[in-house]
Amino acid sequence: MTLKSFINALSDEHHSLPMYQKIKEYILEKIGKGEWLANQKLPSENEISAELGISRMTVNRAFKELTEEGYLFREKGAGTFVAEPFQLIPFFELIPISQELAIEGNPFSSTILQLGKASDPKLILEQYFSVENVESSDIFYSEIIYNNALSPIQYEKRYVLASFAPKYLKQTFDKDCALTYLQALSPILSQKHTLEAIIPNSLVQERLQLVQGEACFKVTEELLIREQIISYSEQFYAASRYKFHSKI
């Protein structure tokens, strides 16, 4: 794969998609046709951004989304590569944890561990939100444990654009979870989820009261309005005490 062929394809003036989406579609097309094979290395973010004259964050967003979707993988210090073929099973919209518990007739409660402004909003904006104007936005951060009666079911770490949810820090989340609150703020809010089974680190293990070596589910969630991420979260579920529901 040469940088020149990559850049020529992305410079199509008749393509109306945003540049990060053009990058994604080009990569997916090459993988789908079998022209780019597993473990093949892509040009670096810096090389592509320099040749196209665009922000590195734009390229990073495309690479990050394709990595989260399982089409690419990254190796620290080595670069970005095409991932092995996989079967992607799509989810419908995931129901908020407070509604999940209500479906099963179980009581809901929450324990707020942190609720305030993110300590390094510029870094968070660059890493998760792909926002160009990083100086003018505040980011809220929350860490919350959601409980089924007194047993922890979900441990959530969430970042939220303050401009989208200016009253986020005033919420108690005693009756509903953060996702329910954010969904109520906009009728055009869309969701993107990635689910995986993991062996949690010691912090997550402690938060969910898991025994050593016990698995949990990890859901990475992006909430978007017109392709702009307004909230990013990582949610960890105690696999032995929880099962997912979904809706169409």
pLDDT at 245: 62
The tally of domains found in the chain comes to: 2
pLDDT at 14: 42
Same domain, 97 and 72: no
Same domain, 99 and 221: yes
pLDDT at 210: 94
pLDDT at 53: 82
Rounded Cα distance, 185 and 3, in Å: 43
Rounded Cα distance, 21 and 23, in Å: 5
CATH number reported for the structural domain that contains residue 164 in this entry: 3.40.1410.10
Q: Given its phi and psi angles, is residue 105 left (phi above 0), alpha (psi -120 to 50 degrees) or beta? A: left
Q: Which residues of the chain have pLDDT under 70?
A: 1-17, 86-93, 130-137, 245-248
Q: What is the DSSP string of 34-49?
A: TSS-TTPBPPPHHHHH
Locate 193 and state its tokens: 């989820």
For residue 71, tell me if it sits in a domain: yes
pLDDT at 1: 53
Average pLDDT of the chain to the nearest whole number: 83
Residue that finishes a domain, picked among 82, 110, 131: 82
pLDDT at 56: 86
Same domain, 22 and 106: no
Same domain, 188 and 143: yes
For residue 87, tell me if it sits in a domain: no
pLDDT at 143: 98
Domain with 99 in it = 93-247
Tens digits of per-residue pLDDT, 124-155?
877 777 665 555 568 999 999 999 877 899 99
Same domain, 64 and 125: no
The answer to whether residues 98 and 176 touch, using CB atoms and an 8 Å cutoff, is yes
Same domain, 64 and 111: no
